[in-house]
Amino acid sequence: MRLYDVPAVSVAARQDGVEPWAHAYGTTISGGTEAVSPSTIFQACSISKHVAAFGALRLVDQGVLDLDENIEAYLTSWRLPESGGWRPVVTVRQLLAHTAGLSYNWFRGFGQGEAVPTITEVLRGQGPATSPPVRATMLPGSGFRYSGSHYAVLQQLMEDVTGSGFAELMRSLVLEPLGMADSSYDQDFPHRHNQVARGHHLDGTPLRGGWRTQPELAGAGLWTTPSDLTRVGVEIAHAVASRSALLSHGLATEMITPQVPGGSGLGTSVVDDGHLRFGHTGGNAGYGCWLFTWPATDTTVAVMVNNEMAEEVLLAVLAAAEHHHGRTGSAPHRTPADLTGTYLARDGYTVRITNDGDNLILHAPGQPPLGLRTLPDGRFRAIALDCELTVVARDGEIVLRLRQQDMTLTATRQP
């Protein structure tokens, strides 16, 4: 923790649905004396999307929403803009799965004392909003592109169709039924809670005011604890097994099923290399976190930190969790040497993978070799570029996924 300037780490694990093991290390602020506890709240960052998707699917179960209905049927406060007289058709499913082709926006939040826009102003790019208007920049349904814009629209849609504010709606749909007493999408919640982990920059300096306000509640606005987050993962796993009173088996199964090759489930990151795990990761200004469930062992683990660039700490905990809870003995362990070969994408683009000891080298057409560093959770990250690579087994084939910012290349290893 000291090496990476991380003042606090909070971890919780829940197995077989029983009360979790939970522990917290460090202090609420760098150089401070107030120790964190398992009930100290952190920003859940993009895990907010995973929980928001759970709430949206409850509305589908209740008949309020239809996954494959045009969002125009529900939105009353805002409409997806036309482009040259052409108005795209987007469905609720596409919002949840990041396949609506909406503009790539990352919402960094607003400092204490700054004017905060409404979600409608965020969508329009008006008022105190600092991001451009949300619009379609790709053909909806043509592929996966992760963007907070999808969940900003989802938030507005859920408010419009129910007539309730998003924070109150999520309290009644998800947080209260799951007993998440230390959780809220209300941005005033940290001012009312007795203990808050203050956010920190990469160099370990605290954020001014302690944290930033996120009007994009569905995408980044949840305040919670790891113990509370594990309740969500457990409930989804129980729903998949037809043991939930909150979510149907069919929708839970859709939630953890990638909607397009190389994409996500419905608000859910899915990793299946022989030992399935699902959940979400997150990073806001000042914070980082992840939540994953391993259905084979009925285990859910969550970790939260109060430094925005504490990836090595998060990955170390994930690697330990994967070792203890993810592997069931049926999945072969693959070394970098096992992953070498030529990979062909659907559009004919070909890349070659070689290994250099424990690391990989990517050979792309017309480019010098690109080194890829092995991460503790089995991913590979480029040393010189902002991209990462995963290799998984799918339907008897070895499949490469190369993610570069908001684009994913999927390619299959050739014989």
What pLDDT, in 10s, does the model give residues 30-54?
999 999 999 999 999 999 999 999 9
- The CATH number of 1-330, from 3.40.710.10, 3.40.50.300, 3.40.50.2300, 3.40.225.10, is 3.40.710.10
Any residues with CB less than 8 A from the CB of 66 and at least 6 apart, and which? 60, 92
Instruction: Give the C-alpha separation, 64 to 71, whole Å.
Output: 12
Q: What is the pLDDT of residue 374?
A: 82
Regions of the chain with pLDDT less than 70: 1-4, 273-274, 309-312, 315, 322-334, 376-377, 393-396, 405-407
Q: How buried is residue 68: exposed, middle or buried, by Cβ count under 10 Å (0-12/13-18/19+)?
A: exposed
Q: What is the pLDDT of residue 308?
A: 83
Q: What is the pLDDT of residue 322?
A: 67
Instruction: Give the C-alpha separation, 170 to 177, whole Å.
Output: 10
Write the single-letter amino acid at 182.
Answer: D
Tokens of 325: 């809870």
Positions of CATH 3.40.710.10 in the chain: 1-330
Domain 336-413 has CATH 2.40.50.140: no
Please name the residue that has the structure tokens 């209260």.
Answer: 176
Q: What is the pLDDT of residue 331?
A: 40
Shortest CA distance to 282 belongs to which of 376, 169, 152, 146? Answer: 146
DSSP annotation of 38: T
Instruction: Give the C-alpha separation, 405 to 287, whole Å.
Output: 20
Torsion of CA 342, 343, 346, 347, to 10 degrees: -60
Tokens of 113: 């004392």
Q: What is the pLDDT of residue 325?
A: 61
CB 182 within 8 A of CB 196: no
Q: What is the pLDDT of residue 391?
A: 81
Strand 21-26 to strand 341-345: parallel, antiparallel, or no bridges (unpaired)? unpaired
Positions of CATH 2.40.128.50 in the chain: 336-413
